[in-house]
Chain A
Amino acid sequence: MRRVYLDHAATTPLDREILEAMLPYFSEKFGNPSSLHSFGREAHEAIETSREKVADLIGAKDNEIIFTSGGTESDNLALRGIAYLNRDKLKEKGPHIITSSIEHPAVLETCKDLEREGFEIKYLNVDKYGLIDLDELQNSVTKGTFLISIMFANNEIGTIEPVEEIGKIAREYDVLFHTDAVQAVGKINIDVRKLPVDLLSISAHKMYGPKGAGALFVREGVKLKSIQTGGGHEGGIRSGTENVPGIVGLGEACRLAKIRMEDDNSRIKKLRDRLIKGILNSVEESYLNGHPEKRLPNNAHFRFTAIEGESLVLSLDQKGIAASTGSACSSKKLKASHVLLAIGLSPVEAHGSLRLTLGRENTEEDVDYVLEVLPDVIGRLREISPLWRNR
């Protein structure tokens, strides 16, 4: 059976070239980067070379890159690191963070946790496309606001937020700006020399690198409290012996992304657009979620009347197609996706969603196969569904 992987927003396959670059650092170049001997120096050099590559992709300086275990840790470090430093300073004014209602759980749950610790959090609404409202953002700034954290691009519906404008507002009010760019790095050209962001989260495995490796960009001069104490690695901000193979993989992923981004994007976008057009044309009562233009080049997100997402994903899996859903049941939670509810879908509508995210290895034939299989799969589920008959 044909196997088609269309879940690149969840994770991407590790690139061969990246794997080759990583392999020596598991075995012969196993040194601890903190060691003084040649084994240590070798590992240390590898880390610093990777730091340059990561910095180069986003226009940062080498000393502005902190290696972490991935996107979730980067988000935690950014939010908690800044928050804990401002807690006492802003005690009188009421320490306040502004975020959005459609953040990844790594940001959302961290904010909820900070709320329990006494911080005030404002969760901005989004419109039907998933875009935040800049006026609402501006009006939400209080005397105690010290941080804005808004994602670069949404992991479910792919909507790209107005990051530059958000950054300008943050600068105007002298508030720090963090963006979770896990889905955007490697797909969107980011240059922090021009873009007014102070902290930016990066993950390797969303860009053909390994799992368990990520980074946080911290603009020079921005201070944050370490949330993991120990031997003082990464400038004292992130203690723990460095994941050398993972960091090497992240560096290579960034280097390759820089070279390939443009070609990949134009090819993947074409496939994506054909997929969207094909599905909207061949499936009755199908709708695109997210913004028609301001979206990640590889993201296609649909809603189908009277269909439940988990049934759809499992049925597609039977046909060899790997997809994902905003539906609760599949992600082992009971509630419908917070993102889909935030853009105004009803719980039943939200449950009927499907996310297809393309990647470098997808072909025209893959798209053809999905377009051939999907209408039948949906037809079968609608036959079972009382909502289709009674609509």
Chain B
Amino acid sequence: MMSMYSKKVMEHFLNPRNMGVIEDADGIGTAGNPVCGDTMTIYIKVKNGRIVDIKFQTFGCAAAIATSSMITELAKGKTLEEAEKITRDDVADALEGLPPIKMHCSNLAADALKAAIEDYRKKRRKK
């Protein structure tokens, strides 16, 4: 099974970056696939239109955890406009590829990040 995943995926799965919760997050987004069983939540902290902090929590397979970890690295420090352009493929490429079957079921991090950015904007409009 190890050969199924790239070294990079295993590395992020075993040592996930930015794992956890931001209690006073400015935006929270979730994405999930109930059939496959993967669920992820992304928390962002925004200052001057830039993501200054980002954390995740994920229930899912190694690919789901690794993609969550990777997107937090890709998005940290980026402006919201830059961050929302990150695609599923960008995440998979940064992880040196994902098994084809995982591209759909577990590669949800980009969706969760977009949802978090959306949530941030919605909250701001309300203020």
Contact = CB atoms under 8 A, between A and B. Distances in A.
Interface of A: 306-311, 313-315, 317-318, 327-330, 332, 334-336, 347-348, 350-351, 383-389
Contacts of B65: 311, 384
Contact of B102 (A329, A383, A387): A329
B61 interface: yes
A348 B37 contact: yes
B41 A329 contact: no
Given A306-B59, A348-B37, A329 B106 contact: yes
Given A308-B37, A336-B37, A386-B40, A327 B58 contact: no
Question: Which 6 A-B pairs give the minimum distances between C-beta atoms?
Answer: A351-B37, A386-B57, A329-B61, A310-B61, A385-B59, A386-B41
B37 A314 contact: no
Contacts of B72: none
A334 B60 contact: no
A386 B14 CA distance: 17
Contacts of A317: 1-2
A386 B59 contact: yes
B1 A313 contact: yes
A327 B106 CA distance: 14
Contact of A385 (B13, B14, B34, B57): B57
A311 B37 contact: no
Nearest to B60: A308
B25 interface: no
Given A314-B10, A327-B61, A329-B36, 13 more contacts: A306-B59, A308-B37, A309-B61, A314-B1, A317-B2, A329-B37, A329-B106, A332-B101, A334-B35, A351-B37, A384-B19, A386-B57, A387-B39
Contacts of A334: 35-36, 101, 105
Interface string B83-122: 0000000000000000001100110000000000000000
Contacts of A314: 1-2, 10, 13, 62
A78 to B, nearest CB: 31
Nearest to B57: A386
Contacts of A350: 37
Contacts of B10: 314
Contacts of B16: 384
A383 B57 CA distance: 8
A348 B60 CA distance: 9
Nearest to B64: A308
Most chain-B Cβ atoms within 10 A of its Cβ — which of A309, A347, A388?
A347
B83 to A, nearest CB: 20
B39 A386 contact: yes
Given A314-B13, A329-B105, A385 B37 contact: no
Contact of B59 (A330, A332, A336, A387): A387
Interface in B1-44: 1-2, 4, 10, 13-14, 16, 19-21, 30, 34-41
A386 B58 contact: yes
17 contacts: A308-B37, A308-B59, A314-B62, A315-B14, A328-B37, A330-B61, A334-B36, A336-B37, A347-B34, A347-B37, A384-B57, A384-B58, A386-B30, A386-B40, A386-B58, A386-B59, A388-B59
